[in-house]
Amino acid sequence: MLWCQAWKLYEKKIHIKFIDETLGLNQHEQEHVMKIIEIALLCTQSPVSKRPTVSEVLLMLQDGQSLGKRTLTRPTFLHNQDRRILIGSSKNSISVP
């Protein structure tokens, strides 16, 4: 899953490696794409109240605003990747990864 790879690279502070090298981006373009990755990761925060609104995201993208005082934390769904949801009775249940 791409979001999981992005988080792992971000946590190691090497999310620059998430950008396709064949694009041949200059330093300024790389910084811009890394900021977009950070904004996208901000939109995955848990709980939902930590996520920016659509208007905040637009301001960050349009005006070049920083993430501000927001800090990125690993979403809870990444802590337990083998989480299963059981549907139906125990006799006829199915597991959905």
CA distances from residue 81 to 59, 66, 85, 97 in whole angstroms, order as listed: 32, 30, 12, 9
In order along its 97 residues, the chain shows pLDDT tens digits of 566 788 888 888 888 888 888 999 999 998 888 888 888 888 888 888 888 899 888 888 887 666 666 777 776 655 554 444 445 555 544 444 4
- How high is the pLDDT of residue 27? 92
Query: Who contacts 34 (Cβ-Cβ below 8 Å, separation ≥6)?
Result: 15, 16, 19
Domain residue limits at 68? 2-96
- How high is the pLDDT of residue 83? 46
Number of domains in the chain: 1
Give the SS3 label for residue 86.
strand
Helical (H) or strand (E) element with 40? helix 27-42
